[in-house]
Amino acid sequence: MAKIAILERKCTGCGLCAKNCPFGAIDLKEGKPELNAACRVCGICVKNCPEKAILKLETRVDSVDKSQWNGILVFAEVSGGRLHPVCLELIGKARELAKNVGYQVSAVLVGHQLESCARELRHYGVSEIAVYDDPELGYFRADAYAACVEDYIRAARPSVVLVGATSLGRSLAPRLSTRFHTGLTADCTSLELRKNTDLVQIRPAFGGNIMAQIITTHTRPQFATVRYKVMNPPSRSAEASGEILNRKIPRGVAESRASCVSVEPVPPKKSISDAEILVVGGRGLRKESDLQMIRELASLLGGDWATTRPLVEKGWNTNDRQIGLSGRTVRPRLLIACGVSGAIQFTAGMNGSERIVAINQDREAPIFGVAHVGIVGDLYEIIPELIRQLKEARA
């Protein structure tokens, strides 16, 4: 870990460090430089100081005893009185990872009236279910929820903590990782666990052009948020197992400075993430009105429709119907990609689909690398023919 140090006895106050800092991270106060929160420890100020009054210091981080942290903990989010599907996906992945190192998988529930959710979790192979149930937790308050999960982490000392990358999870996970002075990798699309218990957290970086592998080597626990629809949920077992622990609410809940003024539920909205069949239009569409044939094909198949990012940027569609890293992640039983080139930003959001059919004129298009069925041809000939045959079959 590196930091910048300024030797005041050598500094002449020339101001070259502040002038050359690309981040505006150095302020001159009474002629002397002071670092602010914008510092990225890049070292440019060190190179530009003529008096050698600025140093870049490397400090060694002491590693924790990894043997004292065991198991994988899943934060089981409850939405509308039900378990959010992402928590079951996380349990499935956690059980897969745990086999490599002999770990147990546990879950933590926070909220109110959680008895039925806790009982349901016993059918998915978790060894322990910690429950924080209180009327004060009936609505989400980030500090109160974080206090509860922190309380259980300190008691159970899990090596890995997985949280769904939902609106709630994205608010909760950073607070938890900060409390434990450890790392957090957001929006992971894949996870691996090494024999030394380091979690390899894989996520797209640089606009999706590379897949970064991130590890937390010196601290525990290891926090990761995972997108919905990228992992496989486990099968529900008829036999219930795992112990339910009703935990005492920590003091932090009562001391929360946040209060609920009113609750207005958001009207239920259909999401392409839940669709079993999807027809997707891409850059190969020539004009906005051509989306009508995408919608018609989707309707005849009893499915939904979506687009890629370029069409959203053109204003032809909204983000809630966009598939990809900056849109939605989907895992339908059937996905038909029409005029989609198959950039990694798009395929990362749909390559878990059960059956992928690609229609594209370019036989070298990357989409054919992930498709199960590839059709090289003009979508303006193929889609109308599909629509015609489906209408005849219905008639």
Instruction: Show the domains of the chain with their CATH numbers.
Output: 2-58 (3.30.70.20), 66-254 (3.40.50.620), 272-394 (3.40.50.1220)
Contact 148, 132 (CB under 8 A): yes
Helix (H) / strand (E) containing 74 = strand 72-75
- Mean residue pLDDT across the chain: 93
pLDDT (0 to 100) of residue 344: 85
Name residue 49's amino acid.
Answer: C
Mean pLDDT, residues 13-27 taken together: 92
pLDDT of residue 60: 65
Q: What is the pLDDT of residue 149?
A: 97
- 319's enclosing H/E stretch is none
Mean pLDDT score, 88-116:
96
Q: Which two tokens stand for residue 220?
A: 């525990």
Give the Cα separation of 70 and 72 in Å (integer): 7
pLDDT for 112: 95
Q: What is the pLDDT of residue 268?
A: 76
- For 223-227, 254-258, 328-332, which range has the lowest pLDDT when averaged over its residues? 254-258
SS3 assignment, position 214: strand
Round to whole Å and give the CA distance between 34 and 367: 52
> Cβ–Cβ contacts within 10 Å for residue 219, how many?
18
Per-residue pLDDT band for 59 (boundaries 50, 70, 90) equals low
**369: three-class secondary structure by DSSP:** helix
Mean of pLDDT values over 341-361: 93
Instruction: Tell me whether strands 356-360 and 334-338 are parallel, antiparallel or unpaired.
Output: parallel
pLDDT band, residue 80 (cuts 50/70/90)? confident
pLDDT at 354: 95
Query: Which pLDDT belongs to residue 133?
Result: 96
Q: Is 61 a residue whose pLDDT tops 70?
A: no
Query: What pLDDT, on a 0 to 100 scale, did the predictor assign at position 395?
Result: 82
Catalogue the E-assigned strands of 189-323. Answer: 190-193, 199-205, 210-214, 222-226, 243-246, 277-281, 304-307
Higher pLDDT, 268 or 370: 370
Confidence of residue 157 (pLDDT cuts 50, 70, 90): very high
**Facing residues of 54 across strands?**
6
Task: Give the separation between CA 393 and CA 353, rounded to whole angstroms.
Answer: 26
Of all residues in the chain, what percent carry a pLDDT higher than 90? 78
Q: Per-residue confidence at 63, pLDDT binned at 50, 70, 90? A: confident
AA identity, residue 116? S
Cβ count within 10 A of residue 182 = 17
* Strand 304-307 to 277-281 pairing: parallel
| pLDDT score of 310 more than 90 | yes
Confidence (pLDDT) at 270 = 85
**Is the Cα torsion angle 155, 159, 164, 166 positive or negative in sign?**
positive
Say whether pLDDT at 254 is over 80. no
Q: Is the model more confident about 64 or about 58?
A: 64
